[in-house]
């Protein structure tokens, strides 16, 4: 379980946070360059352990790294190693060098580094940074803290505190069930015949975003005005992301609270966004993030989330008959049982049917 709070560092602390982030980024890029160079010249594969053992010598050669906590530097190298491992497993693309805009967080990974988390109420202790003011608006088990991640946003800093959550067993009795079919015309259709409107936050912000991007394109590279324009574009994107996140949290919380078994499709969003006509709308809807929220909230409350294969859910009737239709046909009309209903609602009912069979 992760809690996210806003930080209020002093000017000196904010400067040190920026320096720490920049040094971690340079270490990441240097470690990546070392791996590539050694492999091309000597055919030797550099491992995480080998690079970690070189950190003491690095601090002697570059004293600035002594101002960064040792575990933060180790986590930086571990990130690079994880990126390569995901690439070798075929789960992600080849790791890239990180610019200042793409390396925006650092982590204290081990519990030993965060046991002294709170120096006083409303603050957090970050090794090598100091005691930083924090808006801890939600209580949590301080003894269960496992790691701390500090992240920079367009205009502020946030801290993500991971806490070990107690295991909750799923309840044996299932009193309320629901199937969910996500879409674009409406965000979701439920098997109880209710529909959730699609807010389309990115589409609504496109006009302002285009205006800010045009202003950015006119600014001279390297100028202070260009930095201000880039910050405005980043804030616009940040607002859209916050609106979407708030919407998804509220909808997932309501669904998990009201139902004991929740059925969704196994969506391969990465393949779906390859459709250039629908990619922006699919990304704006946030289906993958929505299912992630449903998953951990259901687990936390002892509910069940069942994912079923997506094949044929929109081409089948609840009676089992095949009812083929294109995307343009929005009404399901079965010639066998005579059911006439919104196609998304029927899909949600079929998803629930499949989930009940799996659960049984």
Helix axes 224-258, 287-300, angle to 10 degrees: 50
Instruction: Give per-residue burial for 93-112: e unless 16+ CB within 10 Å, then b.
Output: eebeebeeeebebbbbbebe
The sign of the torsion formed by the CA atoms of 153, 106, 3, 95 equals positive
DSSP 166-221: PP-PPPS----EEEEEE-SSEEEEETTS-EEE---HHHHHHHHHHHHHHHHHHSPT
* Identified catalytic residue from 75, 212, 260, 265: 265
Show Cβ contacts of residue 8 under 8 Å, excluding neighbours closer than 6 positions. Answer: 132, 133, 134, 135
| DSSP one-letter string for 272-321 | HTTSTTTHHHHHHHTHHHHHHHHHHHHHHTT-EEEEE--TTTTSB-TTS-
Which residues are within 8 A (CB) of 338 and not within 5 positions of it... i.e. 6 or more apart?
none
Tallying the residues shown for the chain, one arrives at 360
Q: List Cβ neighbours of 124 (8 Å cut-off, separation of 6 or more).
A: 5, 7, 117, 118, 131, 132, 134, 136, 148, 159, 161
Catalytic-role residue among 75, 81, 260, 344? 344
How far, in whole angstroms, is CA 76 from its chain's centroid? 19
Of these residues, 81, 181, 260, 284, which one is catalytic? Answer: 181
Task: Determine the Cα–Cα distance for residues 193 and 78; give it in Å rounded to an integer.
Answer: 47
CA–CA gap between residue 347 and residue 351 (Å, rounded): 6
344 noted as active-site residue: yes
Distance CA 18, CA 12 (A): 10
Note whether 345 and 189 are within 8 A (CB).
Answer: yes
| Residue 175 is a catalytic residue | no
Kindly list the catalytic residues. 181, 265, 344
């Amino acid at each position: 379980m992760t809690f996210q709070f806003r930080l209020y560092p002093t000017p000196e602390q904010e400067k040190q946070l920026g320096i720490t982030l920049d040094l971690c980024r340079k270490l990441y890029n240097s470690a990546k360059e070392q791996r590539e160079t050694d492999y091309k010249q000597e055919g030797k594969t550099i491992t995480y352990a080998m690079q970690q053992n070189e950190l003491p010598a690095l601090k002697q050669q570059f004293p600035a790294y002594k101002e960064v906590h040792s575990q933060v530097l180790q986590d930086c190298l571990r990130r690079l190693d994880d990126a390569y491992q995901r690439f070798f497993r075929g789960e992600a693309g080849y790791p890239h060098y990180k610019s200042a805009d793409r390396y925006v967080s650092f982590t204290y990974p081990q519990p030993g580094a965060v046991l002294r988390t709170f120096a006083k109420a409303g603050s957090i202790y970050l090794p090598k940074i100091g005691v930083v003011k924090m808006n801890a608006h939600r209580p949590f088990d301080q003894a269960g803290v496992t790691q701390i991640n500090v992240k920079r946003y367009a205009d502020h800093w946030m801290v993500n505190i991971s806490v070990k959550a107690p295991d909750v067993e799923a309840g044996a009795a299932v009193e309320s069930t629901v199937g969910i079919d996500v879409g674009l015309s409406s965000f979701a259709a439920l098997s109880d015949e209710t529909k959730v409107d699609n807010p389309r936050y990115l589409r609504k912000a496109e006009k302002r975003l285009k205006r800010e991007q045009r202003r950015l394109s006119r600014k001279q590279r390297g100028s202070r005005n260009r930095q201000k324009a880039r910050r405005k574009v980043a804030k616009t994107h940040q607002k859209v992301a916050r609106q979407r996140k708030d919407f998804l949290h509220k909808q997932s919380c309501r669904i998990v609270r009201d139902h004991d078994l929740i059925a969704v499709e196994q969506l391969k969003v990465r393949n779906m966004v390859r459709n250039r006509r629908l990619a922006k709308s699919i990304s704006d809807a946030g289906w993958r993030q929505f299912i992630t929220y449903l998953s951990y909230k259901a687990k936390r409350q002892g509910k069940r989330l069942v994912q079923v294969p997506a094949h044929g859910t929109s081409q089948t009737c609840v009676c089992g008959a095949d009812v083929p239709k294109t995307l343009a046909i929005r009404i399901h009309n079965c010639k066998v049982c005579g059911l006439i209903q919104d196609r998304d609602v029927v899909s949600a009912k079929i998803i629930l049917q499949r989930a009940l069979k799996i659960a049984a």
